[in-house]
Amino acid sequence: MADQTSGSNGDSEVVLDIRDNSRTKQEIKCTMFSFPFIQKLIAEVFGTYFLIFAGCGSVAVNLNNEKVVTLPGISMVWGLAVMVLVYSVGHISGAHFNPAVTIAFATCRRFPWNQVRPYLFGSAPYNRASIGSTLACGTLQLLFTEKLNHFWWTQPAGSDVQAFVFEFIITFYLMFIVSGVGTDNRAIGEFAGLAVGATVLLNVLFAGPITGASMNPARSLGPAIVSHHYAKLWIYIVAPIIGAISGAWVYNLMRFTDKPIREITGSFLRSSA
């Protein structure tokens, strides 16, 4: 979720020089088949798996054990899961776990477009995040044989318009925070995981009863694929993508300089001292 790099996001491509009699030099870009990029994809799949397993698993445990986890507990599970995963694999893949985040970063040139398609594995239902989400939901289906219909999918509690607006706003808010702590060199990068996890916790706490607080197409696609329940799914695909793109662009409009904060406020701090 928090793209810890700026621009190319690490080893974006490998250029091979091939020499023969007719051509002295030829550059072949092999982004999809480079070992570092495969590592990123694997990290995203595993990260999404653990995120969805923990989040949806907390809902399942709550329903199967007389709501012992409670809504605040479920919110904490989602937030803490995001936080620890950002710290554990953020330096490998950027810790997106969310197709909307990947697309939003690409639109404002914080993620290379030549990696977007392989990062998403083509069509949305089969992207790398949804693979992890689907596997996690399949695992939960094997572990919980009852009351599956209560947690397998995200469903609006009110109207479609209300759900769409809620998902747009909370994803906008999330992406705005991610852009600030994950891509701005003036932010305190060590607290990126904490800030993003806390944002997810807050969003689930107040928006969970209304929409399920998806903020992530993969979070809704995985349960939908496993349960074959696709009603209202378009809300949880369209709204997060639009919200994430809007949040990223709004923050980038506010990013008036790339200078570190100490260079901006240095003279003020010295005069105050």
Q: Which CATH number fits domain 15-256: 1.20.1080.10, 3.40.50.300, 1.10.150.20, 3.30.1600.10?
A: 1.20.1080.10
108 compared with 77, residue with greater pLDDT = 77
129 compared with 102, residue with greater pLDDT = 102
Helix (H, G, I), strand (E, B), or coil: what is residue 110? coil
In sequence order, what DSSP letters do the residues of 170-209 get, joined into one string? HHHHHHHHHHHHHH-TTS-GGGHHHHHHHHHHHHHHHHHH
pLDDT for the residue 1: 59
Categorize the per-residue pLDDT at 143 as very low, low, confident or very high, splitting at 50, 70 and 90.
Answer: confident
pLDDT for the residue 117: 60
Name the one residue in this structure whose structure tokens are 């810790």: 95
pLDDT for the residue 122: 36
Residue 73 has pLDDT above 60, yes or no: yes
186-218: pLDDT as tens digits:
777 788 999 999 999 999 999 999 999 999 998
Categorize the per-residue pLDDT at 166 as very low, low, confident or very high, splitting at 50, 70 and 90.
Answer: very high
